[in-house]
Amino acid sequence: MNEEEIYKTVGFRIRQARIAKNMTQDELCEILRLSRASISNIEVGRHRIQLHVLYQLAETFGMNIRELLV
């Protein structure tokens, strides 16, 4: 799996987890203190997610961080 595929897969898992929690991108923006554009770019794999943000996402979704990784 190349770098682009990794970020796309992680982004897809983040999007799935957000939707499963019935959360909008705007709601997630408020929690993470990121712009909506950043959330959108993370979900499609265009934005390289920072490690601390990945941990915040896992905590927000009530997941283990490994569930968001490839």
Q: What is the pLDDT of residue 39?
A: 96
| pLDDT exceeds 90 at position 70 | no
Q: Output the six-digit token pair for 64.
A: 């283990």
Q: Output the six-digit token pair for 49.
A: 């997610």
As a CATH number, domain 3-67 is 1.10.260.40
- Of 70, 32, 36, 35, nearest to 53 by C-alpha is 32
Cβ partners under 8 Å of residue 19, min gap 6? none
Q: Domain-by-domain residue ranges, the chain? A: 3-67
| pLDDT exceeds 80 at position 15 | yes
> For residue range 24-69, what is the model confidence (pLDDT) as tens digits?
999 999 999 999 999 999 999 999 999 999 999 999 999 999 999 9
Q: What is the pLDDT of residue 9?
A: 96
Q: What is the pLDDT of residue 33?
A: 95
